[in-house]
Amino acid sequence: MSAPSTGGASRDGYGAALLDIASDPRVVVLEADLGKSTKSCLFREEYPERTISLGIAEQNMMLVAAGLASCGKVPFASTFAIFSERAFEQVRNGIARPGLTVHICGSHGGIHTGTDGSSAQSIEDLALYRTIPGMTVMHPCDDLSARHLTAALLTHDSPSYTRTARNKTPRMYDDETVNSLEIGKGSVLRSGSNVAIIANGVMVHKAMSAAEELSTRGIDATVVDMHTLKPLDTELLDRLAIECSGIVTVEDHSVIAGLGSSVAEHLSQTNPTKIKMLGVQDHFGESGGSEELLEKVGLTREAIIAASESLV
């Protein structure tokens, strides 16, 4: 893959995707006072008659979305990741339990949110939604992949949660390679036989940078963008466990019940493998710059390199 280009934030991809699928009259968009931040405002500007602004009422928004889904609509509901958590019971009982297809987007997730502080830094959202039966959970790494995967939800027949980010990240895809992405299938960005680095979201570009440095040290690393946490690409994991000496998982999320846990849960039953999990340990974040906070919690290129070297 060629060197990444500077792109937009994954939230920009979400907003663009809503316009991509707007020609389907079933698509309706719901906001909880944060349309400008989640980028659903782009749809509202063009299709105000199919946009419902519910104010700061996330629990109500989820149940309104459930009602629309029960009438044949395809609702896309967005808010900040941390605020979606206050509607967990409504998502569980009002959307997922009756099997209604509602697509939720939680923006501004993770430590990467930065100066908003610990109260706004959702480091447990992916873990929460993973526990809901039948729920698809995704965390794209750039604006193009977020756009492609969000648009793919139009024909996806189960409820979903997608986390997006506020800050811009380098693009891992271009207009051609992004078309290969599938919900539930990990994307191999770089192939190597010594160690596998599995990342998602804002950590994917750091994983790629670490792999390039590792190659100068004689270590050949595979890099996987595991944009879908559920359903997990277990076939790919089984292959990597056989081909590589170990696996490093990297996520801007709690190490409890996130990407690393998902990988370990599966491989412990099929191909027990040495795994190093990089993520937020058992504590809250704090206010600070995005890169400053990632460094403080050990989510850096250097940490990925060190973890990879320890497995080879």
Instruction: Please check the confidence at residue 2 and state whether its pLDDT lies above 60.
Output: no
Residue with tokens 């100066």: 115
Q: What is the mean pLDDT of the chain?
A: 96
The model's pLDDT over 56-110, given as tens digits with 9 standing for 90+, comes to 999 999 999 999 999 999 999 999 999 999 999 999 999 999 999 999 999 999 9
Structure tokens at 123: 């480091």
The model's pLDDT over 262-276, given as tens digits with 9 standing for 90+, comes to 999 999 999 999 999
The yes-or-no answer to whether 10-163 and 182-311 have a common fold is: yes
**What CATH architecture applies to the domain 182-311?**
3-Layer(aba) Sandwich (3.40)
**Measured in Å, how far apart are the chain's first and last C-alpha atoms?**
24
Torsion over CA: 171, 217, 281, 287 (sign) = negative
> How confident is the model at residue 97, as a pLDDT?
98
Instruction: Please check the confidence at residue 240 and state whether its pLDDT lies above 50.
Output: yes
Full-model pTM: 0.96
Structure tokens at 68: 């629309």
Residue with tokens 């909880």: 32
| Cβ atoms of residues 163 and 125 within 8 Å | yes
Give the residue extent of every domain in the chain: 10-163, 182-311
Active-site amino acid positions: 58
The model's pLDDT over 188-224, given as tens digits with 9 standing for 90+, comes to 999 999 999 999 999 999 999 999 999 999 999 999 9
The model's pLDDT over 43-60, given as tens digits with 9 standing for 90+, comes to 999 999 999 999 999 999
The model's pLDDT over 10-55, given as tens digits with 9 standing for 90+, comes to 999 999 999 999 999 999 999 999 999 999 999 999 999 999 999 9
| Cα–Cα dist 204/216, whole Å | 19
> How confident is the model at residue 239, as a pLDDT?
98
CATH of 10-163, one of 3.40.50.970, 3.40.190.10, 1.10.260.40, 3.20.20.10: 3.40.50.970
| Cβ atoms of residues 217 and 311 within 8 Å | no
